Amino acid sequence: MSITDQIAAAGIVGCGGAGFPTHAKLKGTFEHLIINGAECEPLLRTDRYIMLNKADELVRALCAITKELNVPKCTIALKADYKDEIASLEKAIAKAGADIAIHRMESFYPAGDEQTIVYEVTGRVVPPAGIPGMVGCVVDNIATILAVNDALDGKPLTQKYLTVTGEVKHPMVLRVPVGTSFARCIELAGGALHSDYFVVSGGPMMGKPLTREQAANEVVTKTTSGILILPADGYHATQNEISVRHMLNRAKSACIQCSACSQLCPRHMLGHPIEPHRIMRKMAMANEIGEDLNDPVIRNAALCCECGVCEAYACPMGLQPRRINSLLKKQLGAAGIRYARPEGAEYEADPQRDARKVPSKRLAARVEVLPYYHYTIRELAEDQPAQVRIPLRMHIGAPSVPVVQAGDSVTAGQLIAKCPDGALGAAIHASISGKVVSVNDSIEISSAL
């Protein structure tokens, strides 16, 4: 069985958040395999834990991938500040006699953005709306490569590493079965410090905002990278309350067209033709989001990577270009409008790019998470809950198709849902042993029955 077949059988998807099926990503011919160890978001410590404690496993998987797929170059890119992690990786690379480079980056945001990391390592600009393969590269994150190592031993992706931090008693890294409730994860971190709080699933910049009530119904998926417990009246909670109508009204009344959002936009700095300030100007004259989807300026919203630099760091007026762009992207997608690159166009990074990089620490202060920024999190907790609820859609592509039904007994690692024939998707396996309680848009398993 080829390594991509092993990865597909294990149901591995990008563990950093996007969830693209890894076996599909690795199909093709590449000059350079780049491993993202930058842990793009402030506060998350999962990949750092893995690099520090699982370096041998990472190197083993990388050697297997590069050998079988005949990839000439392999580089692990991470922040130069990660000194202990770098030492751990260098020791494992030397031990294996592996030809793997380490690329040290500055501590800026979003260092872990796929297109940003390709430019940092190779100096090549991925074209707008393109993928790294267009410049000979493929990018995977650290946790994904650790899952590949397990797949080499026939183990499917059923356990997830994630960070729980913020307003909890014991911030830590967890390793829990896919489908574990957020409530249980928060308990494992000692519980929240306050009875009322706000939750972000993921990092403080691109994570999914959740009220305490919403978080009570959330479960860990293959793409969950972290759970942040934040003040109920803090930046994230108040930003989440702003309505679309209020965003438009703000754009009409407060946008001063300073263009700071465009000047600091990571994709604009790579030479992509997205200009958030011009999109905001259009929105200031609009009555509704997506009023004119044929406008070329509006269509460039499709190039937004939704990193949030524009609204959290750049805008002096407290506007929300990222949220506007996200809404426009959805409407463009619903209308079947895809970004069309001009034929023969070439792209170069802005010469001022290095001077305009956003320092991670300063960004953390802007979004009010600086109190947790310097946490050293090296403790790991593992758990085996009595019940899990595993969603059938945890990845880019078609939802998985159940192959079990209520009442069936399953064992941990057993296939419970498969990728639809001929579709982009991923297999799903039971993360605990027990009985299937229900099958709908998720599969619930209980070991207590």
Neighbour order of strands in the sheet with 208-211: 208-211, 197-201, 226-231, 159-166, 172-177, 380-382
Q: For CATH 3.40.50.11540, list the domain ranges present in the chain.
A: 3-152
Within the chain, which residue ranges are assigned CATH 3.10.20.600? 158-234+368-385
Position 441 scores a pLDDT of: 96
Average pLDDT over residues 351-366: 96
Where residue 429 falls among pLDDT bands split at 50, 70, 90?
very high
Whether 15 contacts 223, CB under 8 Å: yes
Whether residue 367 has pLDDT greater than 90: yes
CATH architecture of 158-234+368-385: Roll (3.10)
Q: Is the pLDDT of residue 325 over 90?
A: yes
CA dist., res. 210 & res. 237, Å (int): 8
Spatial contact of 203 and 166, defined as CB atoms under 8 Å apart: no
Q: List the one residue out of 53, 110, 44 whose CA is nearest residue 77.
A: 110
Query: Once rounded to an integer, what is the mean pLDDT over residues 54-67?
Result: 98
pLDDT for 345 equals 87
Give yes or no for residue 100 having a pLDDT over 90: yes
What is the pTM (predicted TM-score) of this model?
0.95
pLDDT at 122: 98
For 300, counting Cβ atoms within 10 Å of its Cβ (0-12 exposed, 13-18 middle, 19+ buried), the class is: buried
**If you average pLDDT over every residue of the chain, what do you get?**
95
Q: pLDDT (tens digit, 9 = 90+) per residue, 226-272?
A: 999 999 999 999 988 888 788 888 888 888 999 999 999 999 999 99
**Which amino acid is located at 240 in the chain?**
N
Task: Work out the angle at residue 259's Cα, subtended by the Cα atoms of residues 289 and 307, and round it to the nearest 5 degrees.
Answer: 65
- For the segment 257-316, what is each residue's pLDDT rounded down to a tens digit? 999 999 999 999 999 999 999 999 888 887 777 778 999 999 999 999 999 999 999 999
For helices 46-53 and 142-152, the axis angle rounded to 10 degrees is 50
In this prediction, residue 56 carries a pLDDT of: 98
What CATH number belongs to 391-449?
Answer: 2.40.50
The model's pLDDT over 2-60, given as tens digits with 9 standing for 90+, comes to 999 999 999 999 998 789 999 999 999 999 999 999 988 999 999 999 999 999 999 99
pLDDT at 251: 80
- 136 has a pLDDT exceeding 80: yes
**Which residues fall within 8 angstroms of residue 429, CB to CB, at 6 or more apart?**
10, 11, 156, 157, 158, 412, 413, 414, 415, 416
Calpha distance 138→74 (Å, rounded):
10
Residue 418 pLDDT more than 80?
A: yes
Fold (topology level) of 3-152:
Rossmann fold (3.40.50)
Dihedral angle of Cα 112, 197, 185, 306, to the nearest 10 degrees: -20
Q: Which amino acid is at 343?
A: E
Q: Is the pLDDT of residue 189 over 80?
A: yes
Domain with CATH 2.40.50 in the chain: 391-449
Tell me which DSSP letter residue 439 carries: E
Distance CA 219, CA 319 (A): 31
Q: What is the pLDDT of residue 292?
A: 85
Report residue 180's pLDDT band, with 50, 70 and 90 as the boundaries.
very high
